[in-house]
Amino acid sequence: MILSDKQILEALEKGDLYIEPFRREALGSNSYDVHLGPYLRVYAAHALHTDRPLPSSVLKIPPNGLWLVPGVLYLGSTEEYTESRTYVPFLEGKSSVGRLGIQIHSTASKGDIGFCNHWTLEISVIHPVKIYAGMPIGQLIFFKLAGEVQIPYNERPSASYKERNPLPTPSFLWKNLQSHENTRT
């Protein structure tokens, strides 16, 4: 079951959901619009390793916007910090953004119960597109879970992305690989 606008407001009031900043005008019939934060991260190399930290740089989007070009993976983040204690959040692109050839995630559209952070966006474009900080970039949809969660994401020792950070977060797959390697030896 997907939460309606009324149910999202009730969940916010009960503390089962938290969105900061919350903008009433961003609430749709059954979703909540999120906005592009002011920073992008780009990896320094074109060939990326999965087994080690990757050098990257952070760019601040100027007030007059920034041109994104094809062939580059841009990590962005939402302005909104969110917490979901009871509902499974999914991040989807807005159709108006998709119609410009902007994709906001390649694989990571689902959050976990207990995810408390800004959402990192995996942005790529089909052709050059100018973007602006604060523009609507996606929408969160909240699903009701059929059962109880034993260990929420933010309580898992292995959770890689639980430190609150408004900057786009690079991949920490290398940590999982190291952890996996340590358990095999």
pLDDT value of residue 170:
76
> What does the pLDDT read at residue 181?
56
Closest to 172 in 3D by CA, of 90, 96, 75, 31: 75
> What tens-digit pLDDT sequence spans the chain (185 residues)?
999 999 999 999 999 999 999 999 999 999 999 999 999 999 998 888 887 778 899 999 999 999 999 999 999 999 999 999 899 999 999 999 999 999 998 877 888 888 899 999 999 999 999 999 999 999 999 999 888 888 877 877 776 676 777 888 777 777 666 665 555 44
- Domain covering 5-184, topology: Deoxyuridine 5'-Triphosphate Nucleotidohydrolase; Chain A (2.70.40)
Write out 105-155 in H/E/C secondary structure: CCCCCECCCCCEEEEEEEEEECCCEEECCCCEEEEEEEEECCCCCCCCHHH
Q: Is 122 a catalytic residue?
A: yes
Domain range summary for the chain, segments of one domain joined by +: 5-184
- What's the pLDDT tens digit per position in 16-60? 999 999 999 999 999 999 999 999 999 998 888 887 778 899 999
Of the listed 122, 148, 163, 181, which one is catalytic? 122
Predicted pLDDT of residue 98: 95
Read off the pTM: 0.88
Residue 137 burial (10 A CB sphere; 0-12, 13-18, 19+): buried
Tell me what pLDDT residue 154 has.
80
Tell me, what's the pLDDT at 149? Answer: 84
